[in-house]
Amino acid sequence: MKKHYDTLTIGHISLDYNIDYLDHQIIEVGGAVIYSSASAYAGGYKVGVVTKVAPEDKDRLNTFVIDKEDIFYIPSKESTSIRNKYHTADKERRTCTCIGQGDPFTLADIPDVDCDVYHFAGLIYGDFDGQLMKDLSKRGKIAVDVQALLRHANRQTGEMYFEDWKDKKEILPYIDYLKTDTAEAEILTGQTDRFVAAKMLREWGAKEVVITNSAEVLAYDGKEMYTCPIKARNLSGRSGRGDTTFAAYITERQKENMAKSLLWATATVSTKMEAPGPYKGNRKDINDYIKLMYGEDFKPKRVE
């Protein structure tokens, strides 16, 4: 019998050099695949990971929270590494520099398993392409964090920059869950209003859209739109905010409605942001956080 996974997360581990606005530096192993898989695992879901890293950097695999038997490791010529310089205390503005980028993922890299959701958790343009999303859409649902389709790296200088995703209207119809932040949504749609942007992305084919910012998370499925506030009491664990949110949302969404899944995701990221590194709590911890910070009767706000 094939292994079954609620979600299979595909992405590179990254050695991150995070420098705050006061020039304090923290070097940590991160990447969307680390934060996303930890978030889904905390919800009690069966999580698999497909990742690439150079053999000499294989010890980075120890950062994963999930069971080691569920990590599908593929050697890469190079490992991904990124320098993040934050310019403000809230860590909303940053300059990123690519120090190294791992080999792209192909269909041959994906294990023959049973999977409900294939989660594309990339970091830099070129990590994977739209054809892989098309191919895997025949096996299960597709969830995509758009960051790796917008964020490019200059091959000579390492300077990272954003530009629109040229294949978006071709690939969006294959995507069941699309995640952006407010700035990425503007790049994709040209709209500064995230509510308008969410509707445009849905019209272009994405079945469900999640948009994050520092204050709240928005979810839209073409019929209903909700927002839910982030309640983090400090930002010491700001890295991985969007990854944690999205993974919690797409896994919980397999059994709950959109509003309940949004509250779950927002509470998960709120408690994660209060400590550095991937989230290491469990369902009880998240439910306790909801009771403490939101209240047992709290419901996300429906946007008319």
**Which DSSP state fits 300?**
P
* Structure confidence at residue 26 as a pLDDT band (50, 70, 90): confident
Q: What is the dihedral of CA 40, 106, 104, 145, to 10 degrees?
A: -40
Is the dihedral angle over the CA atoms 84, 122, 141, 36 positive or is it negative?
negative
**Which DSSP state fits 63?**
G
In this structure, the number of other CB atoms found within 10 A of the CB of residue 199 comes to 17
Give residue for tokens 């909801």. Answer: 290
**Which DSSP state fits 159?**
B
Would you list the domain boundaries of the chain? 4-302
Q: 123: which residues sit within 8 A by CB, 6+ positions away?
A: 11, 12, 14, 31, 32, 80, 82, 101, 147, 148, 151
Is the dihedral angle over the CA atoms 204, 107, 97, 41 positive or is it negative?
positive
Mean pLDDT for all residues in the chain:
95
* Structure confidence at residue 41 as a pLDDT band (50, 70, 90): very high
* Structure confidence at residue 86 as a pLDDT band (50, 70, 90): confident
CATH number for domain 4-302, candidates 2.40.40.20, 3.40.1190.20, 3.90.1150.10, 3.10.20.90:
3.40.1190.20
